[in-house]
Structures are given as structure tokens and as C-alpha cells.
């Protein structure tokens, strides 16, 4: 199953597309047992795209792509059309000097929740993968 959608940079649009992704994941069983992690990572990616990429402008779009296969897992792509950034320059939130910072945990959370997280197009596109988990008999 695959879908692509461009959404406005608003929280209600984020809620709708996240609900759609979770419905697909449940139906296809491509992230079985890990829907909570997929939801957290997707919300973080979308929020980052809206806050940092679109700068909160609801007229700017964020693209979301979801590929889901029961035997392979799930691939999520979130792309914004704002300014580029270097994700390697984001401070490590686990270092003592950053622990009490009010921001800067989104990318860290995405990496903890998903099996793979990669950036393309100058940081404007994030690609996240969650592998299918085989059930032991």
C-alpha cells in the first residue's frame, strides 16, 4: 500500500495525516507492535517540517509519503519546501549542557523510534524506516 499527500502546515492537517498513516499500518500490519513509535516519529517529523521548514505558514505545504508492506515494514517520507538545514549540527540532547534545553529532541526521538532515519535535499526531506518484525512460532 502506498499513498502520497500534500498537507497545509497546520496541526489539524498533521492529526488527519497521522490518523491515515496509522489506519494503513493497522490494516496492512506493516508496523505491528510499533504503531506508537511510528506515530511519535511521524509527528516529530511533521512538526519539524511545519515549525522549521514552513515557519508556521499554513499556506506552505508539507509532503507525506507512506509505503507499507506486511513483509517489509514501513517507509515514511516527510518533505518541506523551506530553507535547508544540516541535521548533523543539531546538538546532542543527551549531553549535560543540553539536558534542560526546551528544544532539540525531535530528531533524537525519531532516531530512537525508527530503525533508520536519513536526510536528503539539504535536510528538507526525512526518510524513516520501520522494519517488519517476524513473529516467532
Q: Is residue 72 part of a domain?
A: yes
Q: Is residue 111 part of a domain?
A: yes
User: What is the widest separation between alpha-carbon atoms in the chain?
Assistant: 50
Answer yes or no: is pLDDT of 89 > 90. no
Q: Is residue 29 part of a domain?
A: yes
Q: Which residues contact 118 (CB under 8 A, 6 or more apart)?
A: 126, 127
Q: What is the pLDDT of residue 134?
A: 61
**Range of 88's domain?**
2-131
Q: Which three cell numbers stand for residue 65?
A: 509519503
Q: Is residue 63 part of a domain?
A: yes
Q: Is residue 101 part of a domain?
A: yes
pTM, entire model: 0.91
As a residue count, the chain comes to: 137
Q: What is the pLDDT of residue 102?
A: 74
Q: What is the pLDDT of residue 98?
A: 83
Answer yes or no: is pLDDT of 61 > 90. yes
Q: What is the pLDDT of residue 103?
A: 77
Task: Tell me the backbone φ, ψ of residue 79, rounded to 5 degrees.
Answer: -130, 135
What are the pLDDT digits (tens) for 73-87? 999 999 999 888 888
Residue 84: name the closest of 125, 47, 51, 45 by CA.
125
Answer yes or no: is pLDDT of 133 > 90. no
Q: Is residue 137 part of a domain?
A: no
The tally of domains found in the chain comes to 1
What are the pLDDT digits (tens) for 33-51? 999 999 999 999 999 999 9
Q: Is residue 136 part of a domain?
A: no
CATH code where residue 46 lies = 3.30.565.10
Mean pLDDT of 9-37: 95
Amino acid at each position: 500500500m502506498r499513498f502520497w499527500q500534500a498537507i497545509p502546515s497546520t496541526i489539524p492537517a498533521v492529526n488527519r495525516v497521522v490518523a491515515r498513516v496509522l489506519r494503513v499500518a493497522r490494516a496492512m500490519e506493516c508496523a505491528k507492535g510499533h504503531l506508537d513509535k511510528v506515530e511519535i516519529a511521524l509527528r516529530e517529523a511533521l512538526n519539524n517540517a511545519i515549525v522549521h521548514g514552513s515557519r508556521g505558514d499554513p499556506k506552505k505545504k508539507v509532503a507525506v509519503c507512506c509505503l507499507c508492506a506486511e513483509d517489509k515494514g514501513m517507509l515514511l517520507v516527510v518533505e518541506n519546501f523551506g530553507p535547508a538545514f544540516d541535521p548533523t549540527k543539531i546538538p546532542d540532547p543527551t549531553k549535560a549542557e543540553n539536558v534542560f534545553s526546551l528544544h532539540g529532541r525531535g530528531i533524537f526521538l525519531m532516531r530512537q523510534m525508527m530503525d533508520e532515519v536519513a536526510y536528503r535535499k539539504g535536510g528538507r526531506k526525512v526518510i524513516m524506516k520501520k522494519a517488519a518484525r517476524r513473529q516467532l512460532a
